[in-house]
């Protein structure tokens, strides 16, 4: 909690280039916004079983999902760039309840997709939308710092151009402390750098002013880099990546759209797609299956890759699928409640698919 109060105090003193930037820059950490969120949630509490929101995790750089069931829980709420989790992931398992949920722009796309697929009932959901200018990728922070010993963290300004102040215990054995300030820009998750939907697309309560999308369109530079390799090199790349897989299925469990994980094909004997053998084939095929299952559904929230304990870049597979879906069908998942998923329909004459028989 300390981090938040200090962050808001600092943001008030933050010199600003212009007014609008100042307004934007305060969105993520504004105390006002937290007050509004608490008030809105408090008002809705009688109408829902509970509200899924963010609270402080085991250290100042980690957030954790919390359930708000009563007024007393309101104090636990936080919202800052450490709130990386997509809370929509928990929704499907709670189907049948009446819930509130706190979402960032990207998370809201998962909800749009769940609603579009009729996997949740809109009337049983109260959505608290929070415009978001980015969350941290802790790996990027770890690259330069031993963050385990950080005692406090506070954010200044917008994550897009602000600062993260970390407080460490002084190593000198004195009772003092040491602080360090880092620009947050370089710490943002990759998905935030290409974010086009910082404002929730579906919500009942929009908390705080809406923000502008990140400037750059997604250029799929990561895919392009991989595509520069030869086919054999790509194969070897994945062979090595998939070889690390321990089949823990964290990727599946973190996916907000893997709604059938309780009857997942990976565990099923009938039909028997995968064996329990820990062979490269099985690991690899599971990832391809996951990507194929999510074709036309994946919103690139990135939870699969973030949750992978082995650091396998599996989001690339889904991004490949999404890039091609966009090109073939001009389709993007999770942005429209009414859209018909491209694989559930067809055109008699497909504009962008050539007749395969004549190509060779």
Partner 1 sequence: MPDMDRDYRIIGFLCNWCSYGGADAAGVARFNQPTELRIIRVPCSGRVDPMFVAKALLSGADGVLVSGCHPRDCHYTEGNLYARRRLELLRRFLPIIGVDEGRFEYVWVSASEGSRWRDMVTKFTEKIHQLGPMPRMAETARTLCALEGMLGVSSAQPDMWRPGEPGHDALLSMDEYKEVMDGE
Partner 2 sequence: MRIGVMVCHCGNNIAATVDCEAVAAAAREFPDVVFATDHMYACSDPGQGTIEKTIRELKLDGVVVASCSPRMHEVTFRRAVERAGLNRYMFEMANIREHVAWISLDRKRNTEKAIDLVRMAVEKLRYDRPLTAKSFEVQKRVLIIGAGVAGIQAALDCAEGGLDVVLVERKASIGGVMSKLDKTFPTIDCSVCVLGPKMVDVGQHPRITLHTLSEVEELSGYVGNFEVTIRKKTPYVDWVKCTGCGACLEKCPSRKVPDSHNEGISTTTAITIPFPQAIPKRAAIDPTVCLHFTKGTCGVCKKVCPADAIDYDLKDEVVTEKVGAVIAATGLDLFDHRKCGEYGGGRYPDVITSLQYERMLSASGPTNGHIQRPSDGAEPKTVVFISCVGSRDRSVDRPYCSNFCCMYTAKQAILTRDHIPDSRAYVFYMDIRATGKGYEEFVRRAQEEYEVQYIRGRVAQIYPLYPLAGPEGNQLVVRGADTLLGVQVEIKADLVVLAVGAESAHGAPALAEKLRISYDAYGFFLESHPKLRPVETNTVGVFLAGACQAPKDIPASVAQASAAAGKVLALLSKDKLESDPQIAQVQAMRCIGCGKCERTCPFGAIRMRELRDGAKRAEVVETVCQGCGICSVTCPVRAIQLAHFTDSQLLAEVNALCRTWTETTGS
Of 61-120, which residues contact partner 2 (CB under 8 A)?
A: 96, 117-119
The answer to whether the CB of 100 falls within 8 A of the CB of 94 is no
34 or 317: whose CB is closer to partner 1? 317
Q: Which residues, in sequence order, are bridge partners of residue 182?
A: 164
Q: Does 58 bind partner 1 (CB under 8 A)?
A: no
Rg (CA), the chain: 22
Q: How many residues bind partner 1 (CB under 8 A)?
A: 72
From 17, 148, 263, 358, residue interacting with partner 2 (rule: CB under 8 A): 263
Q: Which stretch binds partner 1 (CB under 8 A): 6-14, 39-47, 112-120, 140-148?
A: 140-148
Dihedral angle, C-alpha 286, 290, 291, 293, nearest 10 °: 130
32 binds, among partner 2, partner 1, none (CB under 5 to 8 A by kind): none
Q: What would the x/- binding string for partner 2 be over residues 284 to 313, using CB under 8 A?
A: ---------x--------------------
From 273, 323, 335, 342, residue interacting with partner 2 (rule: CB under 8 A): 273
CA-CA-CA-CA torsion sign (318, 124, 56, 197): positive
The answer to whether the CB of 200 falls within 8 A of the CB of 206 is yes
Nearest Cα to 77, choosing from 44, 34, 31? 34
The SS3 assignment for 97 reads strand
Q: Does 336 bind partner 2 (CB under 8 A)?
A: no
Q: Does 234 bind partner 1 (CB under 8 A)?
A: yes
Q: Does 228 bind partner 2 (CB under 8 A)?
A: no
The answer to whether the CB of 156 falls within 8 A of the CB of 163 is yes
**Beta strands of the chain (E only): which ranges?**
50-56, 63-68, 99-103, 125-129, 150-156, 163-169, 177-183, 205-206
Q: Which of residues 39-58 bind partner 2 (CB under 8 A)?
A: none
Give the number of other CB atoms < 10 A from CB of residue 144.
11
Taking the complex as a whole, the smallest distance from the CB of residue 107 to partner 2 amounts, in Å, to: 21
45 binds, among partner 2, partner 1, none (CB under 5 to 8 A by kind): none
Judge residue 72's burial from the number of C-beta atoms within 10 Å of its C-beta, 0-12 exposed, 13-18 middle, 19 or more buried. Answer: exposed
Q: Which of residues 210-229 bind partner 1 (CB under 8 A)?
A: 221-223, 225-229
Site residues, partner 2 (CB under 8 A): 96, 117-119, 259-260, 263-265, 268, 270-273, 293, 343-344
């Amino acid at each position: 909690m300390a981090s938040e109060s200090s962050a808001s105090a600092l943001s008030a003193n933050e010199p600003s280039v212009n007014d609008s930037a100042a307004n934007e820059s305060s969105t993520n950490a504004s105390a006002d916004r937290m007050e509004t969120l608490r008030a809105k949630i408090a008002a809705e509490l009688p109408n829902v079983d509970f509200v899924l929101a963010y609270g402080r995790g085991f250290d100042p750089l980690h957030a954790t999902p919390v359930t708000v069931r009563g007024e007393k829980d309101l104090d636990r709420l936080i919202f800052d760039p450490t709130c990386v989790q997509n809370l929509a992931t928990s929704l499907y398992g709670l189907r049948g309840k009446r819930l509130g949920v706190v979402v960032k722009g990207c998370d809201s796309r998962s909800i749009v997709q769940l609603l579009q697929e009729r996997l949740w009932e809109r009337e049983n959901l109260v959505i608290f939308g929070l415009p978001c200018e980015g969350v941290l990728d802790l790996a990027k922070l770890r690259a330069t710092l031993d963050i385990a010993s950080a005692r406090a963290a506070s954010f200044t300004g917008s994550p897009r151009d602000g600062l993260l102040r970390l407080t460490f215990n002084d190593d000198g054995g004195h009772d003092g402390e040491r602080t360090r300030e880092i620009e947050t820009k370089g710490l943002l998750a990759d998905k935030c750098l290409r974010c086009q939907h910082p404002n929730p697309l579906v919500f009942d309560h929009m908390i705080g002013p809406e923000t502008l999308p990140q400037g750059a369109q997604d250029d799929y530079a990561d895919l392009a880099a991989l595509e520069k390799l030869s086919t054999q090199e790509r194969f070897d790349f994945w062979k090595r990546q998939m070889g690390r897989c321990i089949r823990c299925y964290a990727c599946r469990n973190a996916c907000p759209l893997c709604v059938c994980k309780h009857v997942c094909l990976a565990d099923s004997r009938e039909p028997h797609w995968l064996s329990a053998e820990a062979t490269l084939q099985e690991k690899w095929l599971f990832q391809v299956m996951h990507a194929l299952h999510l074709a036309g559904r994946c919103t690139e929230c990135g939870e699969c890759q973030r949750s992978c304990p082995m650091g396998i870049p599996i989001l690339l597979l889904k991004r490949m699928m999404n890039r091609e879906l966009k090109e073939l069908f001009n389709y993007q998942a999770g942005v429209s409640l009414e859209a018909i998923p491209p694989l559930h329909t067809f055109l008699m004459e497909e504009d962008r698919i050539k007749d395969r028989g004549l190509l060779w």
